[in-house]
Each structure stands twice: as C-alpha cells, then as structure tokens.
C-alpha cells in the first residue's frame, strides 16, 4: 500500500481494536497519530502519540491538524449508564467530526456496532438499510454516532464510513461469535478499504468475517472494496454448547437484565 495514506489519526489507539489497527497501519502510512486518554509510547519514527480526552473539543481539533483521515475508535464499548455513553460516544464523536470539518480531514471512519440492530431475529439476514433496533443504551449511542456521521456528510460534505463492527476477537470464544466474529485480519481489511475507497460521501457497512452463520449482508463491504476471508465455523467444534438458540441477534445483550443494572 505504501505511504499514499498520508497522515492517519487513530482515536482509542490503546484499546483492543485500536491496538490492532495501529499495528496493521504502522508502516503503511506516512504518519500515524495515536490518540487516547491513557498514555501511549511511540513505537516507530512514523508514530506520534497524544494523550487527549475526546470530550475536549479544542484538544481533539488540534490533534487532527494535517490529518488525511481519522479512524475513530475511542469511546465506551459496551452497556453503561446513558450519561457516560452520551459523553464518551455521542459528544466524543461530535468533537471528532467537528474537528475533522475544521481541519479539512478527507475521510472519517466511525466505529459503530452490530448492537445497533440487535433486536432483529437471529433467523433474519439484514442489511444496514434497515431501521435501527438497538439492544440497549450502548446501541442507542451508536445510532447517534451514525446520525452525526450522516449529518456531517450531508450538511458539510465530509466523507464518512460507519463500520458496524461485529465481535472483534483473536478467535471465537462463544456460540454467538459463530455469527458475529470479526477476525483481526478481516478488521484490518475493512479499515484499509474504508480508508482508501474513492468517491464516498457516506456509507454504513457491517464489518464481520465471512462466517457461515452470519446475520449480516456482506455486499456493502464488498462494494467498498473488501471481502472477508475468515469463517468462525472452523472454531465451532471447540466452542461450549449452547443451552437454547437465541431468538434475537444480540442474544443475552437484548435481555432486560443486561440494561437494568445500568439504570
Ligand atoms: N471490540 C468489539 O468487538 C467491538 C464491537 C463493536 C463495536 N466496537 C467499537 O469499536 C471501538 C473500539 O472498541 P474496543 O473493543 O477497542 O474498546 P476498548 O475499550 O478496548 O478501547 C477504547 C479506547 O478508547 C479510549 N477512550 C475511551 N473514552 C475515551 C475518551 N473520552 N477520550 C479518549 N480516549 C477514550 C480508551 O482508553 C480505550 O483505549 C468502540 O467504539 C466500540 O464501541 C467494538
């Protein structure tokens, strides 16, 4: 790929997905700017680290100076009280998009989630065209994340790709992952395609591996330029048996108890 990607900023660079994206993009970009609220050390001459809280609009805008693209992964990655999700995910994403607008950033990738559509039946194969059916407050925050992306694309002409990430794991560890697994290799494939696809104003794709039992259509990802290669099915024999097949795509995440403890 070479250094034609220029300067790429990764938010949430200390996190699980961020660490994988960092390792994958290092050596492929001219400059990799790594943001997180926890301290990071630069590991190559092309890396630059910055301790930034995404809730701090001015700091985020300053960190995006000179960026060609931003991969926005930072935030709250699961069910939490709504004020925390509004702060970390909604306000944080707004600050990234507004910073990108002010700094003229060419492409913004937003980490969305499969949990935005978790109330669809497990028996249904769905596309990102269908209305949201979030499985909890976290899913609601991702509806807002995608809506902010759409607003900044429509109103201000930003180029935005929303990645509805599946279950990012080195290997599937539970039955649901047979449908939802996103392997590190496929994650990188989607991120590279989302960074390089030409002519995008706004698009939303499911970033999931080519799992035999997947719930989500791969076509939008293929149109963007990436077709996944891994399949969780290879791990099926080693996974614990499931007591009942879940009716809903989010399984246990869709239960009332899962959200009640955060209210
Ligand atoms: N891991 C998955 O399977 C998965 C699935 C669907 C969506 N996602 C989304 O992908 C993104 C990354 O997920 P992850 O699993 O790597 O999460 P993670 O918790 O491992 O990483 C998130 C990072 O964001 C940083 N962060 C959080 N709030 C911040 C703030 N206010 N300012 C600056 N930094 C902040 C944290 O320090 C952390 O390093 C999240 O947006 C998550 O919702 C992940």
Spell out the residues 6+ positions from residue 70 whose beta carbon is closer than 8 angstroms to its own. Answer: 8, 9, 10, 11, 64, 96, 100, 105, 107, 108, 109
Q: Please tell me the predicted confidence (pLDDT) of residue 142.
A: 98
* Residue 125 CB burial class (10 angstroms; 0-12, 13-18, ≥19): exposed
Q: Please tell me the predicted confidence (pLDDT) of residue 75.
A: 98
Q: Please tell me the predicted confidence (pLDDT) of residue 244.
A: 78
Of 138, 152, 226, 258, which residue is the catalytic one?
Answer: 138
Q: What string of H, E and C letters represents the secondary structure of 217-255?
A: CCHHHHHHCCCCCCCHHHHHHHCCCCCCCCCECCHHHHC
Name the residue among 54, 51, 91, 59 with its Cα closest to residue 74. 54
Q: Measured in angstroms, how far is the CA atom of residue 61 from the centroid of ligand 1?
A: 19
| Cβ 156 vs Cβ 101: under 8 Å | yes
Query: Ligand 1 within 6 A of 51 CB?
Result: no
| CA–CA dist 35, 13 (Å, integer) | 6
Q: Please tell me the predicted confidence (pLDDT) of residue 1.
A: 40
Query: Ligand 1 within 6 A of 17 CB?
Result: yes
- Indicate which residue's Cα is closest to atom 38 of ligand 1: 15
Q: Please tell me the predicted confidence (pLDDT) of residue 97.
A: 99
Pocket test for ligand 1, best of 10, 52, 73 (most atoms within 8 A of CB): 73
As a residue count, the chain comes to 263
Instruction: Cite the DSSP H helix spans in the chain.
Output: 16-25, 57-63, 82-85, 92-103, 137-156, 177-180, 184-196, 219-224, 256-260
Write down all domains in the chain, each with its CATH number in brackets: 7-260 (3.40.50.720)
| Cβ 139 vs Cβ 116: under 8 Å | yes
Query: Ligand 1 within 6 A of 90 CB?
Result: no
- Indicate which residue's Cα is closest to atom 20 of ligand 1: 15
Cβ of 65: how many Cβ atoms within 10 Å? 14
Q: Please tell me the predicted confidence (pLDDT) of residue 246.
A: 85
Cβ of 96: how many Cβ atoms within 10 Å? 31
As beta bridge partners, residue 34 has 10, 49
Q: Measured in angstroms, how far is the CA atom of residue 75 from the centroid of ligand 1?
A: 5
Q: Is 138 a catalytic residue?
A: yes
SS3 content of the chain, % helix, strand, coil (to 5): 40, 20, 45
Tell me the whole-structure pTM to 2 decimals.
0.98
Q: Please tell me the predicted confidence (pLDDT) of residue 245.
A: 78
Spell out the residues 6+ positions from residue 114 whose beta carbon is closer than 8 angstroms to its own. Answer: 164, 165, 166, 167, 180, 206, 208, 215, 216, 249, 250
Query: Ligand 1 within 6 A of 12 CB?
Result: yes
Query: Ligand 1 within 6 A of 16 CB?
Result: yes
Query: For the chain, how many helices (H) and strands (E)?
Result: 9, 9
Averaged pLDDT, groups of 10, the chain, 263 residues long: 78 98 96 98 97 98 98 98 98 99 98 98 97 98 98 98 98 96 98 98 98 97 98 96 87 96 96
Q: Please tell me the predicted confidence (pLDDT) of residue 2.
A: 43
Name the residue among 241, 234, 198, 16 with its Cα closest to residue 106. 198
């Amino acid at each position: 790929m070479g250094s034609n990607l220029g300067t790429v900023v990764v938010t949430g660079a200390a996190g699980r997905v961020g660490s994988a994206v960092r390792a994958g993009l290092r050596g492929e970009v001219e400059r990799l700017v790594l943001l997180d609220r926890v301290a990071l050390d630069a590991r190559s001459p092309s890396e630059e680290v910055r301790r930034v809280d995404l809730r701090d609009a001015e700091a985020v805008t300053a960190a995006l100076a000179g960026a060609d693209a931003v991969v926005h992964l930072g935030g709250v990655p699961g069910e939490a009280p709504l004020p925390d999700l509004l702060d970390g995910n909604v306000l944080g994403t707004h600050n990234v998009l507004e910073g990108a607008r002010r700094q003229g950033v060419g492409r913004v990738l937003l980490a969305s989630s499969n949990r935005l559509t978790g109330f669809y039946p497990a028996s249904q194969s769905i596309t990102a065209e269908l209305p949201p059916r979030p499985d909890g407050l976290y899913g609601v925050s991702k509806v807002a994340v995608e809506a902010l992306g759409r607003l900044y694309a429509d109103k201000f002409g930003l180029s935005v790709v929303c990645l509805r990430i599946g279950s990012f794991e080195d290997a599937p560890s539970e039955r649901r992952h047979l449908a939802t697994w996103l392997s590190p290799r496929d994650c990188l494939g989607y991120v590279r395609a989302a960074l390089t696809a030409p002519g995008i104003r706004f698009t939303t794709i499911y970033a999931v591996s080519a799992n035999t039992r997947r719930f989500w259509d791969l076509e939008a990802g293929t149109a963007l330029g990436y077709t996944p290669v891994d399949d969780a099915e290879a791990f099926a024999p080693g996974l614990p048996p499931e007591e009942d097949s879940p009716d809903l795509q989010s399984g246990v995440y869709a239960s009332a108890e899962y959200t009640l403890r955060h209210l």
